Amino acid sequence: MLDDAFFDYLRGIDCSDVEVYSIPEGSVVFPKVPLMRVEGPVAVVQLLETPFVNLINYASLVTTNAARHRHVAGKSKVLMEFGLRRAQGPDGAISASKYCFMGGFDATSNVLAGHLFGIPLRGTHSHAYVSSYMSLDEIPDRTLRNKDGSKVCMDFVSLVKDWLCKIQAADSLRNVFGDTNQSELAAFASYALAFPSSFLALVDTYDVMRSGIPNFCAVALALHDLGYKASGIRLDSGDLAYLSIETRKVFHAIEKEFNIPGFGKMIITASNDLNEETIDALNKQGHEVDAFGIGTYLVTCYSQAALGCVFKLVEINSRPRIKLSEDVAKVSIPCKKRCFRLYGKEGYPLVDIMIRESEPSPKAGERILCRHPFLESKRAYVVPQHVEELLHCYWPGSSDKPRAELPSLVKIRSRCMQQLEKLRPDHIRRLNPTPYKVSVSAKLYEFIHYLWLNEAPVGELQ
């Protein structure tokens, strides 16, 4: 059906005649402002449409989702991405780890993502690990050297058992703890023997308050005897607000009862289908969670699983093109454009403005007319304190334009968090945020409407 010459053509093309301009990664962006401007031969540029849109849509969506989770959790909490098993495919998971970090997460449980992008790794053992143990008899090597190397405890398991008796008998903890699950105790002790410096226990395999917490405390206290500091616990089911508060009380009681400074501050991690709403609800109830492990809702962007970025032809052979639609929101803004963010006196961004390439750049201190792209009556003069050009050249093709630097992931992450902090708070509040204004220059406004009238057939009402 197809000419061989077509395949020869495909084999021969490359991106040497293409120029790509983009808003720096990690920037806050608003609808209508182009994230990228791609220039080049139409056939080559069309081939780039699908990969670009695929790669940008999900990355932007999940970064935004991560930033929203950070916003609701607050700066002081540790946020860990735990999404690999529920992500939409293996590279959906890898992208999620990368972009959640960019959006303000602290760590991932995805080891490959950690390896590829240098993201800190954090995780805990599984429920299966706990239930793979039956009893303490299954631990063959019970020796553990003191942290300072000074001496060796020959029977760490006995030390754990002694501590369990002590906390069961302690006055301040009386009536809290009965018999605990022995397979769970064996799993915790075994884990602590292997990783004495990073003992973090998942405490809900059998019963959080009656088994997981006392078992954890016994092992943590035994580790303390040998100079180690346990990391903390993870709650993965039940009423996280209540359980975290009760757990914190136990930790404080143990700190006091046995005079172990810092035991009360043991890290409490929560997981189990967390999302913005549940974290917000926890905040309102009060809780003692220090770190959140968030998976499914984060990486699949459950509350909005797709972002609708599109790729539009806006100019060809120096002739601007427009795509009309019954739905005004879908009408494309024609012309090769430059885009600027105008900042006000207080340092907040006020408005983004798009201009035709031939127009002079807006300048700080000048009075600039900013118009809504479609609604004639919506317009305002702005005198910006500072003007930032948004699109930078990241792929100059064979032109001699300078190529903007691609910063490290850590720098992009910082940019992302700084950009969000710079926004006026009402633009990012959870309920009824004020829309941020996106405008066009007076010249571009006139041109859009000239083109619109020329391209659209005139209807007849009958």
Q: Return the number of the residue (138 or 421) whose C-beta is nearest a copy of itself.
A: 138
Considering only residues 119 to 138 of the shown chain, the ones binding a copy of itself according to CB under 8 A are 126-129, 131-132, 134
The residues, any chain, with a CB within 8 Å of residue 385's CB and separated by 6 or more, are: 343, 344, 345, 347, 364, 365
Member of 206, 242, 258, 394 binding a copy of itself (CB under 8 A): 206
Three-class SS of residue 98?
helix
229 near a copy of itself (CB under 8 A): no
- Using the contact rule CB under 8 A, the part of the chain among 17-25, 57-65, 376-384, 397-405 near a copy of itself is 57-65
Considering only residues 238 to 257 of the shown chain, the ones binding a copy of itself according to CB under 8 A are 238
Q: Return the number of the residue (161 or 321) whose C-beta is nearest a copy of itself.
A: 321
63 near a copy of itself (CB under 8 A): no
C-alpha atoms less than 13 angstroms from C-alpha of 345 in its C-beta half-sphere: 1
Query: Cβ 333 to a copy of itself, closest distance in Å?
Result: 13
40 near a copy of itself (CB under 8 A): no
Tokens of 206: 């059998």
Query: Cβ 25 to a copy of itself, closest distance in Å?
Result: 16
311 near a copy of itself (CB under 8 A): yes
Alpha-carbon distance values, 453 to 95, 309, 446 (Å): 43, 26, 11
Please give the DSSP secondary-structure letter assigned to residue 316: E
Query: Cβ 10 to a copy of itself, closest distance in Å?
Result: 11
Member of 5, 306, 431, 453 binding a copy of itself (CB under 8 A): 306
The Cα 366–Cα 380 span in angstroms is: 13
Considering only residues 275 to 304 of the shown chain, the ones binding a copy of itself according to CB under 8 A are 296-297, 300-302
Alpha-carbon distance values, 12 to 44, 52, 246, 396, 461 (Å): 11, 20, 67, 19, 52
Q: Which residues of 36-66 are buried (b: 16+ CB within 10 A; e: fewer)?
A: bbbbbeeeebeebeeebbeebebbbbbbbbb
Considering only residues 168 to 197 of the shown chain, the ones binding a copy of itself according to CB under 8 A are 175, 178-181, 183, 197
Query: Integer distance in angstroms from the first to the last C-alpha of the chain?
Result: 45
Member of 22, 64, 205, 244 binding a copy of itself (CB under 8 A): 205
The Cα 161–Cα 142 span in angstroms is: 12
Member of 48, 72, 78, 313 binding a copy of itself (CB under 8 A): 313
211 near a copy of itself (CB under 8 A): yes
455 near a copy of itself (CB under 8 A): yes
Please give the DSSP secondary-structure letter assigned to residue 237: S
210 near a copy of itself (CB under 8 A): yes
Member of 13, 16, 46, 366 binding a copy of itself (CB under 8 A): 46
Q: Of 98, 7, 451, which Cα lies nearest the Cα of 298? A: 98
42 near a copy of itself (CB under 8 A): yes
Return the amino acid letter for 449.
Answer: H
93 near a copy of itself (CB under 8 A): yes
